Structure 1
């Protein structure tokens, strides 16, 4: 049976056209992938990197829902996001887990019908009317670090026989960019952290205080500050040595941190002085937190060796700034720190191991300082 040459040519042309269409589509995908890769590599901060994945890639992939799931056992990513942006770690589509479940940690992708029963099917917010999905593991140095999950209202968008070359390549690039971003943030943190206590230093505090003062204006919320000083710290160093003094500093740091919230900012201001910023906190509540810290330090001596403990006390000054006060952000920040420092001075002058604020200034010390000023003597 002979085949019509014209019909055969028509079939071949159709097959050729199909191949050319597929080649053009693949070329378009590669160009889009190349552009997106450059965009990922060009991001400068961790929030920017995450935002590119959640926003731009959702558009580029023509998908209805996307979630980035990351394992964050030490809350490192959360702290970086909280430090770098006003909204903290609350980014729609970002899910931070302390530990990956066994199913989350699987090293192969899932493509197919939308299955809400799969433990790895983590979406935020939960997608409506989706019919297919892909759950793509993110790997770094052979270990799972999370997953990139996408869902579509089209059943044919993600199918078991779909090629995953493009998206798996993207996942590998994102994993590398994520590690680079974290390393960059760690390097930055070295210059903003006190090496002895592991908390922020004065440089970071002054920048953060100004940022929080800006938030006071923008969101009309109060901001309080505590200045804390270990009582008679010089005597500790002179009597027991600087090694014991270092242990006392670390001991007090741990007690203070235990009484603070995750969004509070603790820093070592210098020597034996600490400063705590309390966002969204009024003076009364700040004084309650300060008193809790004072009592905790007073009740828990510092163990200096196997047989000896050293009783330590702390004095605290508390102040507040509101959006009603005049001045730019820098001025408000400086005024807040100065007011808390002034309250700390009054706490020291009135006997130490006390909490002092504008609401409970010691009358005797205030009167004494007023008299000194009136007589023209140097209060120092």
Structure 2
């Protein structure tokens, strides 16, 4: 073999080696980026945060033309956590289905689909795309052998996803996404259950006392006032004694549902005690708070309740109102301020009852000093 032939062969081997090294480095880079994405997925604590990562960040991170997601959500467990979340291209990038018919039609064998999609499949996977989808990876999201959704990665590059290449890392990504979706839904719903009064479906006392501190912090930063209303059902014991506890429970459920429908999403409604409800009204001045309280009092008095025998009866309420300007009390701890605001509203309720019930009373803030711990000296 001549010298020129050896040089050519050597050059060819070097070129092949460079290609192999370049491909290995590229693969390592891809795996590292997927590893980083996996860590970000696993760190998501809220479903809205997870969806934002999948639907928005994936598109930029993986240089995709379209990312779509379908979630199987028959009991609205996911949708109930997304009241304030707005997905990109609403209705197209994120869809919820109540049956598995669509998912099973896409994945009859629960296997991912790689390559150029058919027209029918493209219309199902990418109803509306920002740019043409020339190739795609359709990934079934599976938990415990059950299809819980479908993740669609679309590219305008026809060579991006081909059936001749193995995509084990994408399949692994789909498994991680499936786990993270299930975990976020379960964790958020468990947290929600721990903060909700199961009878009335409004916040419980513990949740309210945590929320009032957060609202005071927000009000302090924005220099807004925070109003607190306490609503006590008049002669509620008489309802239980006369009609029975099942009727009493129905009254409480009805009042909780009524209050939820009357107030803003930014307001917080809680069952604070047996027949006492508490409401936080952010960015609400005294006149507005008193007007809302009076409106609620009148509407609650007009509600018709029924006992187990469908006999109608009405109830009245006594409402206490207090108001706080956190920025005017810069030296007071938020926890102490919350205690004082609650005590003032509670005292206002007692004043309303002492004055004959079925009315609104106001108590200025602060009413009471926060309790002080005294230590005995020996």
After TM superposition, the score normalised by the length of structure 1 is 0.70
**Cα distance change of structure 1 residues 8 and 98 upon mapping to structure 2, 3 Å threshold:** closer
CA contact (8 A) 1:109 1:137 kept: yes
Aligned to 1:372: none
Change (3 A) 1:277 1:167: farther
Name the SS of the counterpart of 1:270 in structure 2: coil
Work out whether residues 121 and 149 of structure 1, in 8 Å CA contact, stay in contact via their aligned partners in 2: no
Match of 2:345 in 1: 340
Q: Are the equivalent residues in 2 in contact too, given 1:104–1:147 (CA < 8 A)?
A: no
Structure 2 unpaired stretches of 5+: 365-378
Quote how far apart the aligned CAs of 1:301 are.
1.6
* Whole-angstrom CA distance in 1 between matches of 2:250 and 2:169: 53
Whether 2:144 is the aligned partner of 1:139: answer: no
Q: Given the alignment of the two structures, is residue 321 of structure 1 paired with residue 336 of structure 2, yes or no? A: no
Contact 1:201-1:268 within 8 A present in 2 as well: yes
Tell me, what secondary structure is at the counterpart of 1:267? Answer: strand
- Whole-angstrom distance in 2 between the partners of 1:55 and 1:349: 57
**1:368 matched residue in structure 2:** none
**Quick check: 1:66–1:149 contact (8 Å CA) kept in 2?**
yes
Question: For residues 72 and 332 of structure 1, do their structure 2 counterparts lie closer, same or farther at Cα, with a shift above 3 Å needed?
Answer: farther
Structure 1 residues 1-380: aligned runs within 5 Å: 11=12, 14-15=15-16, 17-46=18-47, 49-50=50-51, 53=54, 60-61=61-62, 89=85, 99=96, 139-141=141-143, 142-143=146-147, 145=149, 147=151, 156=157, 159-161=160-162, 165-326=168-329, 327-357=332-362
d(CA) in 1 for partners of 2:183, 2:203: 22
Q: Is the partner of 1:353 in helix, strand or coil?
A: coil
Shift of 1:7: 5.2
Deviation string 1:152-178 (CA, Å, 9 cap, x unpaired) is xxx549845386543343233122112
Deviations, residues 285-312 of structure 1 (Å, cap 9, x unaligned): 3333333332332222222224312322
Deviation string, structure 1 residues 310-333 (Cα, Å, up to 9, x no partner): 322222222222244302322332
Q: Which moved more, 1:274-283 or 1:163-172?
A: 163-172
Aligned to 1:197, the other structure's residue is in SS state: coil
1:333-357 Cα deviation digits (max 9, x unpaired) = 2222222222222222222222333
Cα shift readout 1:227-283 (whole Å, capped 9, x = no counterpart): 111110111122222222222211211221121222321111111011111223333
- Distance in 2 between residues matched to 1:212 and 1:91, nearest whole Å: 27
Equivalents in 1 of 2:191, 2:183: separation in Å? 12
What number of residue pairs does the alignment pair up?
343
Tell me the SS of whatever aligns to 2:215.
Answer: helix
Asked whether the 8 Å contact 1:104–1:146 carries over to 2, the reply is no
Structure 1 stretches lacking a partner, 5+ long:
83-87, 360-380
CA contact (8 A) 1:230 1:273 kept: yes
